[in-house]
A and B are shown apart, each in its own frame.
Chain A
Amino acid sequence: MSAVIRGFKNVLAKKLRTTGVVMIVGFSLAVFLTMTIVNANISQNVRNVSQNLEKTVTIRPAGSFGGFGSTTAMNESVVPIIQSAEHVVAVQKIIQHNLVNNTGGDQGGFPSGFGGPPESGGPRVFNSRQMPTILEGLDPTQELVLFGGGTVTITSGRTMNSFDSQSNVAIVGASYTKEDGTSVNLNDIISINQTDVTVTVIGIYTTGTRFGDRSILMPYETVKKILNVSGPNIIYATVDYAGNIDSVVSALNATLGADYDVVSASSQGASLQNSITQIANNSQIGSYAALMTGGAILFFIMAVITRERIREIGVLKAIGFKNSKIIAQFLTESITLATFGFIVGVVVALVGGGTISEILLGQSTTSGSSGGFVVSRGGESGGMPSGGRQFGGGFLANINYSLTPEILIYAFLAAVLLGVLGALYPIMKAMKLKPAEALRYE
């Protein structure tokens, strides 16, 4: 009957107390684990964004940076020029157009007036309301780049393919229907207000974020027809190596002249990275706060447990137990509680990690305090972040709530640390009592 067995027996003997402590410690560890996972994922996302940004050059009509997209179409003839630039490995031409508040007059090359009442009996007419809806014309053969960021996942129907290049088809974001109460289903025929072009919905997509799901994606050529524009308002050029980005920017600036703004995404995205890093830091702080909370709870519980068992400590001393053996027993109890808490924490983190992170980080992001979410929400007020590839929302949505051995080891060590720290001070204090004092203790 070693100190360890006595410790185990004590933990198992008091089921109600053990359950309560394990639940509290478990939840703290679950928050710690979740925040650690979020942190690891966000950090990875930051690295991914950095890599993407570092290799991307954005070309827009001059003067359009800082506002949403551009109301001026670029000439398509610049695409092969950009394509032929040294170190450029891919070029993507995109039309992005905000359907919100377009009730004013004609804005350059892009028409206004996408809002309006639904037509009875005809195809469904998209009527953008409070939230921005982004009409995006993309090359179906290339990666689907969203204004709101995130990765496109088709929830029903199919994505666009190369054979859709000239077709009147669309993929609609899931949150448009949720937010506006407009029921858009697969195979619905829709039209953009005041145009004769009707489009068939071939897919519904989600990115997992409200803002990322606010786009209507169509083939580039289809959007050209709908908007009656001659070319894209954004062109992304991908360079072969991040170290060549500055030379590509210089070369394109020289080649394209003053009518175009050529900017490396890395410089434009620096603030975005800072914001995302801020979220990562917040989640890190959150994880430590959760750990400290768990530690504090365990400390106070162990203090109470130790205090109420000081007479028992006195008895053990009286019958000859050395302090080291009594300390070992209480440490075992505390570490056992923390270990059970760790198991509960792992289960809770795996099952409810998404919910926890949404509660802890989701609300703070919508409050607009910091982070990449603010950047993405900036689009609502008309601010289109430059160099916008795969950024903005989606950082929580893309998180994979799986526990790596490294995170599990961290969490287990954290649990053991909590257990040791929780028990050590109260038990050491109790150890200072003489056996006679401990036996007299009320």
Chain B
Amino acid sequence: MSDAKVVKQPVQPKPAGPPGSDKNDSRDIIAIEKLSKVFEKKGDKVRALSEICLSIKRGDYIALQGPSGSGKTTLLNILGCLDRPTSGKVTIEGTDVSTMNEKELAKLRSNKIGFIFQSFNLIPIFNAIENVELPMVNTKVPKNERKKRARELLNLVGLSERVRHTPYELSAGEQQRVAIARALANKPLVILADEPTGNLDSKTGERIMNLLGELNKMGTTVVVVTHDDKMARLTKKTIRMEDGKISKTTGTFQIPICDIKNQR
């Protein structure tokens, strides 16, 4: 992979494009500007992110790398509206999410973001198809269509024979594939995956990364947090983080001006 090709360009929120996977649309879907996050625990302040600027374009397949505590998961959580920044601005499809209330954020997560977790986080009492259906309950997709789409997604991830199996009856790789299908349920703008291969053996992990690559080729934007260089090499771009800052990038990024000094 080559080093980042830095293009100076201020953050300019652009009109929101259609959700999902328009391969020809290269507008920013997520842009962050001077993003900082400070955690306070028992009076101690820990700076997890320090004035980060970044833009993610439709169709990106990005690996977020870095040592433990470098701020990758915190960044991913803020990108996915699971956490709020201490300062800075996050825009998703041109909309500033910093000012949104919990209800609006929940709706945004439901419609535009798909999550994949290291420990799969499937709901144990539901079978595969019910787990995939779950996000569609929020978006009020009619029951028949919900079932149909869930079945299609499970078929897409190669689990058409396992639709009635509960998480306990599935292997780790299969559970992660169910989680990927669930993340795709509402045709999200972006899939955010936090160490999706962390609990898998290398072969299964590679399969999962390839599956995410396939989804990306189909037009889905994917951001993956990973420790594993081998897995990171399967993505199009990488961002390396250290001490809450972006220390290095590979691939082509349109880095906002504010963060140039951090990139060099």
* B-binding residues in A (CB < 8 A): 1-2, 9-10, 13, 311-312, 314-323, 325, 434-437, 439
Contacts and interface: CB of A to CB of B under 8 A. Distances in A.
B12 interface: no
Interface string B116-150: 01000101111000100111011100000000000
Contact of A321 (B108, B115, B124, B138): B138
A1 B83 contact: no
Residue of A13, A314, A434 contacting most chain B CB atoms (<10 Å): A434
B134 A9 contact: no
Interface stretch (B15-23, B99-107, B220-228, B236-244): B99-107
Given A319-B134, A323-B102, A436-B82, 8 more contacts: A10-B125, A13-B125, A320-B139, A321-B106, A322-B138, A434-B84, A435-B77, A437-B83
Contacts of A315: 117, 121, 123
27 contacts: A1-B130, A1-B137, A2-B137, A13-B125, A312-B121, A315-B117, A315-B123, A317-B82, A317-B109, A318-B82, A318-B109, A319-B115, A319-B138, A320-B108, A320-B109, A320-B110, A320-B111, A320-B186, A321-B110, A322-B107, A323-B102, A434-B82, A435-B77, A435-B109, A437-B83, A439-B82, A439-B117
B163 to A, nearest CB: 15
A322 B123 contact: no
Contact of A317 (B84, B106, B137): B106
Residue of B102, B103, B139 contacting most chain A CB atoms (<10 Å): B102
Interface string B208-235: 0000000000000000000000000000
A11 to B, nearest CB: 10
A1 B109 contact: no
Interface of B: 77, 80, 82-84, 102-103, 106-111, 115, 117, 121, 123-126, 130, 133-135, 137-139, 182, 186
Contacts of B138: 319-322, 325
A439 B125 CA distance: 18
B82 to A, nearest CB: 4
Contacts of A9: 125-126
Nearest to A9: B125
B121 A311 contact: yes
Nearest to B77: A436
A319 to B, nearest CB: 5
Which 10 residue pairs across A and B have the least CB separation, nearest first?
A320-B110, A436-B83, A13-B125, A436-B82, A435-B82, A436-B77, A320-B109, A315-B121, A319-B135, A320-B138
Contacts of A312: 121, 123
A320 B106 contact: yes
Residue of A9, A315, A318, A322 contacting most chain B CB atoms (<10 Å): A318
B82 A322 contact: no
Contacts of B111: 320
A9 B123 CA distance: 11
A322 B84 contact: no
A319 B110 contact: yes
Nearest to B125: A13
Nearest to A312: B123
A319 B77 contact: no
A439 B121 contact: yes
Nearest to B124: A13
B225 to A, nearest CB: 13
Contacts of B130: 1
Given A1-B130, A435-B83, A439-B117, A320 B123 contact: no
Contacts of B126: 9
Contacts of A318: 80, 82, 109, 115, 121
Nearest to B139: A320
Contacts of B117: 315, 439
A21 to B, nearest CB: 16
Contacts of A316: 134
A439 B137 CA distance: 21
A111 to B, nearest CB: 81
Nearest to A434: B83
B112 to A, nearest CB: 9
A319 B109 contact: yes
Contacts of B133: 1
A439 to B, nearest CB: 7
A438 to B, nearest CB: 9
Nearest to A326: B106
Contact of A319 (B84, B103, B182): B182
Contacts of B125: 9-10, 13
Contacts of A311: 121
A323 B124 CA distance: 20
A321 B134 CA distance: 9
A2 B133 CA distance: 11
Contacts of B102: 323
Contacts of A437: 83
Contact of A1 (B106, B107, B134, B186): B134
Contacts of A1: 130, 133-134, 137
Contacts of A320: 106-111, 135, 138-139, 186
A434 B115 CA distance: 15
A328 to B, nearest CB: 12
Nearest to B192: A318
A10 B126 CA distance: 9
Contacts of B107: 320, 322
B124 to A, nearest CB: 8
Contacts of A436: 77, 82-83
